[in-house]
Amino acid sequence: MKVITFDRSKNISYFGKCKLQSHIIDKCLNVKLLDKEPEETKTFTYSRIFICKNNFLCCMNQNTNNGAIFIFSTKGKCVQVFNTILKAKIHNPQPSVDVATNEDDAFKDNFFLPLMKAVQGGTDGIQDLRSILSDFVHSLDNDERSYYYNILVENLVVPSPRPQEEEVEGNDKQVVSPVHPHLPIDSAAVASPVHETPKRTFNSSEPSTSSAYSMRRRSNVNYKEVGIGSNRILRRKSNVSPYVKPVPRKSNVFPSAKPLPKKSDGESCFDEPSPQNSTNDVDFDVIEYLHDGKVNKKIIVFASNERKQYYEFTFNSKTTNYHCVQCFAQNKRTTIGRTIHDNGSHTFEFNTDEHICDPIDYSPGNQSSLIVKSPNFKFTKREVYGKMKPLLIVFDPVDKDICYKFGYDSYPRLFLCSGCKKLGRTVNARFIQHSGETSIELGRLQHICEPQKYIPENL
């Protein structure tokens, strides 16, 4: 893995290979800088502010603002170390980022912009830094990708791209890729990936020549880029370029990024959902249960208002409905239909079919409901990357001063816990109608993130 360290002026002081060791007892990270001569070991205590962004683990000293970016090979490895740090800090809470800002602003101001300016200034090791910055932006979701690319445009004053010929090996089609006409081009960025990182240190006092930079890798002016992805090669250009009929440029800013799933119409901001089931006459609950050692959830429908007996329904992935477990065992399909809506809610179609099975005796003490009733949740909106987005707040059932924040994801059409998402776990929630009231149905997975202090002006 690699590490980038910054001094108090946010200039890069070291960039190179490292070996990281996490010490839970001492609550610190020991980092051996392998490209230093002689090798040097730095210690980063858990008392620092830590931010996890994909495969970037960032830490900073809140008083001096000098920090570091640990670059892991995968997001999973990064999340694993970040999660270890969080667990060790349970009894010693992480210093909060200034209330006037948020985690995204802290990452942008203290890590992304200094890294970008190092690339812009032509710092030694620029090819590796370009690749790291490019790969990071590629890995983001659509909104974040556009947000950080706009930062690049604003700060690097990148001109509008012009078409450039690019031939595809083994394909008659020709595509046009964005190439900026006034930016420096070098062949190393297009050649085979760098396998060995040269030893280097950075001296912020040395003057550097500032030059604009485009995130796209390019070849030297005497060469042209042929092929896409692993088939990319270099071919010498002739002095006179043949006329090539332009092909409309793809809207994706980064052609090498993998296409993301098409988002539904629910991507835009919306008001608080008010789902309506087929009837309000059915008394039901959504509870969790253990199946083969794993936590799952099911719907129970009470046989009468006395709540002494019930029928249990589990989800059938083939029909996307819920079916009565005991009836199904007797080859009878008694189902509850479900419809998912674009505003993070779903509704139930309760069937009037008679059960052929006997109801089960109900013991309230053995059931754990996944339904959250008002006022234990709150729907609001907040600005994310320049756009208003829905936000669901679910309060702790005991302490209403702490909560979990759920952001809306339009692709699966549900709300996801923001803290758990950063740690690689999908903890979800949806709006439902229960007992005639708008309520929240939680997913089956438990939180692995810590609840946050509820501060309305800092959502």
pLDDT tens track for 23-82: 888 889 999 999 888 889 999 998 888 888 889 999 988 777 778 999 999 888 888 888
The 8-class DSSP code of residue 187 comes to G
Q: DSSP per residue over 411-452, as a string?
A: TTTEEEEHHHHHTT---EEEEEEETTEEEEEE-SSPP-SPPE
pLDDT at residue 91 tops 80? no
Residue 160 has pLDDT above 90, yes or no: no
Over residues 258-277, the mean pLDDT reads: 64
How confident is the model at residue 201, as a pLDDT?
45
Q: Is the pLDDT of residue 409 over 50?
A: yes
The sheet with strand 12-23 has its strands ordered as 40-45, 28-33, 12-23, 2-6, 67-71, 56-60, 49-53
Instruction: Give the helix/strand (H/E) hosting 144.
Output: helix 142-156
- The owner of tokens 């059938």 is 316
Predicted pLDDT of residue 339: 93
Encode pLDDT of 11-21 as tens digits: 899 999 999 99
Q: Please give the pLDDT value at position 80.
A: 86
Give the CA-trace dihedral at 149, 155, 161, 165, to 10 degrees: -70
Domain spans of the chain, in order of start: 2-123, 158-200+212-260, 284-369, 372-458
Given this model, what pLDDT does residue 269 score?
79
Say which CATH topology domain 2-123 has: PH-domain like (2.30.29)
| Residue 40 structure tokens | 């040097």
pTM: 0.51
Contacts of 54 (CB under 8 A, 6+ apart): 75, 78, 136, 139, 140
Average pLDDT over residues 286-305: 88
Using the predicted structure, report yes or no on whether residue 346 has a pLDDT greater than 50. Answer: yes
pLDDT grade for 123, boundaries at 50, 70 and 90: low
pLDDT band at 319 (very low <50, low <70, confident <90, very high): confident
Q: Of residues 331 and 223, which shows the higher confidence score? A: 331
Alpha-helix residue ranges (DSSP H) falling in 6-141: 75-88, 103-107, 113-120, 126-138
Asked if residue 457 has pLDDT above 80, the reply is no
pLDDT at 198 > cutoff 70: no
Task: Examine the pLDDT at 124 and tell me if it is beyond 80.
Answer: no
Band (pLDDT 50/70/90 cuts) for residue 303 is very high
The CA-based angle 452-455-459, given to 5 degrees, is 85
Q: Contact at 8 Å (CB) between 363 and 309?
A: no
Write down the pLDDT at residue 275: 94
User: Three-class SS of residue 121?
Assistant: coil
* Full strand arrangement of the beta sheet holding 174-179: 174-179, 162-167, 223-226, 233-236
| Maximum mean pLDDT: which of 64-68, 106-110, 149-153, 394-398 | 394-398
Task: Tell which wins on pLDDT, 253 or 372.
Answer: 372
Which of the given ranges, 80-84, 89-93, 332-336, has the highest pLDDT on average? Answer: 332-336
